[in-house]
């Protein structure tokens, strides 16, 4: 939704930054089955897309890299994959490794 809004507003160049910002805010929201709470998560995601649309139109974004969020959206997705499939002995150790190696 966020990418579509930015595209329709003629701001395709801001899509990657906006989605990175959105992911930094929502990456902890996972759906755990089709039930009422998942509908609420979808509503939250839609509201956040509108919020980040407004912020990016005003040229407000996060300084990157920030934590596991990278300047490159594809690298951010790689980092999320690493966190969801930790190769270290704990998720925390994987997170530290991802953040330490997260350069733009």
Q: Of 1, 11, 20, 7, whose CA–CA distance to 65 is shortest? A: 20
**35 or 55, which is more confident:** 55
Over its C-alpha atoms, the chain yields an Rg (Å, rounded) of 15
pLDDT at position 28: 67
Q: Is pLDDT larger for residue 74 or for residue 36?
A: 74
Residue 58 has pLDDT above 90, yes or no: yes
* Cβ count within 10 A of residue 39: 11
- Using alpha carbons, select from 71, 76, 68 the residue that is nearest to residue 92: 68
Closest CA to 56 of 98, 89, 9: 9
pTM of the model: 0.71
């Amino acid at each position: 939704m966020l990418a579509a809004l930015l595209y329709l507003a003629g701001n395709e160049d801001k899509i990657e930054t906006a989605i990175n910002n959105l992911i930094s805010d929502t990456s902890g929201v996972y759906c755990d089955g089709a039930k009422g709470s998942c509908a609420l998560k979808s509503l939250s995601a839609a509201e956040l897309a509108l919020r980040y649309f407004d912020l990016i139109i005003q040229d407000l974004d996060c300084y990157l890299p920030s934590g596991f969020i990278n300047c490159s959206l594809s690298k951010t997705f790689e980092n999320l994959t690493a966190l969801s499939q930790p190769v270290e002995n704990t998720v925390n150790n994987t997170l530290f490794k991802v953040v330490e190696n997260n350069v733009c």
